[in-house]
Amino acid sequence: MSWNRVTCGIVIALLVVASSALGQLPKADPQSFKPIELFEEVWQLCTNYFYSPTQAPPDWKALQAKYQPMFEKTESLEEGSAAVNLMLNELKTSHTHLYTRADWEYYDLLDIFRAAFEDRIKEFFPDGKITYRNIGVFTQTIHGKTFVKSVLDGGPAFKAGIMAGDEIRSVDGKEYEPVKSFVKKTRVIARIQQSADPHSVKDIKVVPEDNSAAERYMAAMEASIRTITNSGFGIGYIHIWSFTGEQYYLQLLKEIQSGRIKDADALVLDLRDGWGGANPYYLSPFDPAIPTEIPSNNGRNKTIDFKWKKPVILLVNEGTRSGKETLAYGFKHLKLGKVVGTTTAGANVGGAVFLLKGGCLLELSVKPRQAPAVPAPLGLSPESTQSPFLFLMQHPEATEGKGVEPDITVQFPLEYAQGKDPQLKAAVQAAVESIRSSSITR
């Protein structure tokens, strides 16, 4: 076994489990799969590594006695993984879930953490690309119906005219499944209902894309960038769908320093939905008290002479989690601007990703071996107790299961929203008010 650290949430410790069976991924042999072996492996990893800052230590023997009999009657991976997740749900801690090849998160996690698996990636994906065919949406089930929660900017669903709030009735006549619905498909017909009126149902042709998490979220981030005109002001907007790599921070910095929104009068940073990640220094361009930092090749950050000195608004929701949630906490407590939307996910512990023998991925909340090193320019030394970031590193229970409350709460009624975004509208208005306030102050 070997440990590697990557950034996701406050800290992610990524444990790679060595096994001769790993070469089966992603083509695990159904004939050799035994659900009881899956349970035993997950249960053992949980007893060895699971950690929760908010829950009492589990009674592992009791959980074993409760759930092991289920696996003695289970024959399929689908049933076995569902039973595992029933057990994991009892732990009531974020970053704790079992994923299979039927889950879109499976492919994203493998791609996000590919550095830890680099020596085996081509055994699983011959071209070295961890991809799956998709249409670029996040969905939410409400009363048994599947609704589009958000649409990746510039993605297949976006191009086809599918909007947040649309109900997906079917894909090619079958129930919507985020991965299975698009396997080997070059075109699909999505049956969409866009209002409560059943007569609003229509068939929409969508062309799925086969891409990696890194490609998909960077493309969506770039496609989201625009200037919104309101009350005579230009409000720059950018949606950061993932912060699981420095490339997203560098793209943000480029756009506000010399790119399309450098001349905007204010900025709305949208952290809703998607993946977390993020380092505390990603807020440095907006904090006048510290230098702006960028990563360098030698592993140590360097500073640059740039500050965004105009108003900035942070947009969050219940899908803002992990490292993006940490940024929201720091942004609010450093009073860098207003936070708009709904309370964040409350999913802010450190996690580990285990590659199991049968090819599944287990994400598990773990206690970091030690507090992560913090770049010196931020002044977040171990002696400092004032930094909100250091506080969260030492006290993840402050947000785990609770989230970060916005300064301005705006709900988003999802069902048949027809693309309306009251949260973005409120964020733009907050930006306008901040511009006016800063003008009066000057």
pLDDT tens for 355-372 read: 887 778 999 998 865 333
The neighbouring-strand residues paired with 297 are none
The neighbouring-strand residues paired with 238 are 269
Note whether 315 and 262 are same-domain residues: yes
Q: Which of 124, 144, 166 is the last residue of a domain?
A: 124
- Residue 296's pLDDT band (cuts 50, 70, 90): confident
Asked whether residue 404 is assigned to any structural domain, the reply reads: yes
> In Å, how far are 75, 195, 237, 275, 344 from 315, measured between CA atoms?
45, 26, 10, 15, 10
Q: Output the pLDDT for position 440.
A: 61
Percent share of the chain, pLDDT over 90: 68
Note whether 203 and 237 are same-domain residues: no
pTM of full prediction above 0.85:
yes
Q: Which of 98, 124, 150 is the last residue of a domain?
A: 124
CB-neighbour burial class of residue 137 (10 A; exposed 0-12, middle 13-18, buried 19+):
buried
User: Residue 190 maps to which CATH number?
Assistant: 2.30.42.10
Asked whether residue 163 is assigned to any structural domain, the reply reads: yes
For residue 169, is pLDDT > 80?
yes
Note whether 229 and 311 are same-domain residues: yes
For residue 398, is pLDDT > 80?
yes
pLDDT tens for 149-168 read: 999 999 999 999 999 999 99
Asked whether residue 358 is assigned to any structural domain, the reply reads: no
Note whether 187 and 229 are same-domain residues: no
| Short-list 98, 100, 121, CA closest to 111 | 121
For residue 209, is pLDDT > 50?
yes
Q: Output the pLDDT for position 7.
A: 30
- Of the listed ranges 115-129, 207-221, 324-338, the one predicted with least confidence: 115-129
Note whether 278 and 146 are same-domain residues: no
The domain of 326 spans 213-348+376-441
Longest dimension (CA), the chain: 72
Q: How far apart are CA 239 and CA 313, in angstroms?
A: 12
Q: Which two tokens stand for residue 316?
A: 């969050």
- Per-chain mean pLDDT for the chain: 86
The neighbouring-strand residues paired with 407 are none
For residue 409, is pLDDT > 90?
yes
User: Residue range 218-240: average pLDDT?
Assistant: 98
Q: Output the pLDDT for position 441.
A: 55
Q: Output the pLDDT for position 3.
A: 22
Asked whether residue 88 is assigned to any structural domain, the reply reads: yes
User: Residue range 104-112: average pLDDT?
Assistant: 93
| Short-list 377, 274, 249, 394, CA closest to 325 | 274
Q: Output the pLDDT for position 33.
A: 62
Note whether 146 and 177 are same-domain residues: yes
For residue 395, is pLDDT > 80?
no
- Residue 282's pLDDT band (cuts 50, 70, 90): very high
Burial 314-345 (b: 16+ CB within 10 A, else e): bbbbbbbbbbbbbbbbbbbebebbbbbbbbbb
Asked whether residue 357 is assigned to any structural domain, the reply reads: no
Asked whether residue 12 is assigned to any structural domain, the reply reads: yes
- Residue 127's pLDDT band (cuts 50, 70, 90): confident
Q: Output the pLDDT for position 289.
A: 87
pLDDT tens for 315-328 read: 999 999 999 999 99
Note whether 143 and 33 are same-domain residues: no
- Residue 32's pLDDT band (cuts 50, 70, 90): low
Token pair 């590659």: residue:
355
Asked whether residue 269 is assigned to any structural domain, the reply reads: yes
For residue 25, is pLDDT > 70?
no
User: Residue 224 maps to which CATH number?
Assistant: 3.90.226.10
CB-neighbour burial class of residue 68 (10 A; exposed 0-12, middle 13-18, buried 19+):
middle
Q: Output the pLDDT for position 418.
A: 94
3-state SS class at 65: helix
> In Å, how far are 294, 320, 376 from 302, measured between CA atoms?
6, 28, 10
Domain count, the chain: 3
- Residue 375's pLDDT band (cuts 50, 70, 90): very low
Q: Which of 211, 233, 263 is the last residue of a domain?
A: 211
Q: Which residue has the higher pLDDT, 137 or 19?
A: 137
Q: Are the beta carbons of 419 and 163 closer than 8 angstroms?
A: yes
Q: Output the pLDDT for position 45.
A: 94
Note whether 256 and 392 are same-domain residues: yes
Note whether 25 and 86 are same-domain residues: yes
| Short-list 70, 65, 80, CA closest to 33 | 80
Give backbone dihedrals phi and psi of 75, rounded to 5 degrees, phi first: -120, -20
For residue 116, is pLDDT > 60?
yes
Note whether 172 and 230 are same-domain residues: no
Asked whether residue 359 is assigned to any structural domain, the reply reads: no
Q: Are the beta carbons of 279 and 7 closer than 8 angstroms?
A: yes
Note whether 199 and 295 are same-domain residues: no
Note whether 81 and 157 are same-domain residues: no
